[in-house]
Amino acid sequence: MRIQKILSHSLIACAFAGTMSVAVPAAATTLTNTGWLVGSGEGVQVHRGATAQNVLAGGFKGNFGDPPPGLLIEFWCYDLDHTFNLGATYGDYNAVGLSGPGATQLARLFQAGGSRASDADHSAGFQLALWNIEYDSDLTVNTGSFFVTGATAGAVSYANSLLADLINHDGSAPSLTGLYSASGHQNFITPNEVPRECCRQVPEPPVLPLLLTGLGAAALVETRRRMRVRGE
State the pLDDT confidence band at 113, using cuts at 50, 70 and 90: very high
The answer to whether position 74 is within a domain reads: yes
Q: Tell whether the model's pLDDT for residue 153 goes beyond 50.
A: yes
Q: Which of 80, 69, 65 is nearest to 34 (CA)?
A: 69
The answer to whether position 3 is within a domain reads: no
Same domain, 108 and 216: no
Same domain, 210 and 193: no
The secondary structure of 181-220 as a DSSP string is ESSSB--EEE-S---GGGSPPPPPPPHHHHHHHHHHHHHH
Q: Which of 106, 121, 114, 115 is nearest to 188 (CA)?
A: 106
Q: Which residue has the higher pLDDT, 33 or 20?
A: 33
Q: What is the pTM of this model?
A: 0.76
The answer to whether position 4 is within a domain reads: no
Same domain, 212 and 181: no
Rg (CA), the chain: 23
Q: Tell whether the model's pLDDT for residue 162 goes beyond 70.
A: yes
**Domain span holding position 152:** 9-198
Cα–Cα distance for residue pair 1/86, rounded to 1 Å: 10
Cβ-Cβ contacts under 8 Å for 59 (sequence gap 6 or more): 36, 37, 38, 74, 75, 76, 116, 117, 123, 126, 127
**What's CA 129's distance to the chain center, in Å?**
16
Same domain, 230 and 153: no
Same domain, 151 and 226: no
Segment holding 94, helix H or strand E: strand 89-99
- Return the pLDDT at 222: 54
Give the number of C-alpha atoms closer than 13 A to the C-alpha of residue 189, restricted to the C-beta side: 26
Cα–Cα distance for residue pair 32/119, rounded to 1 Å: 22
Over residues 45-52, the mean pLDDT reads 95
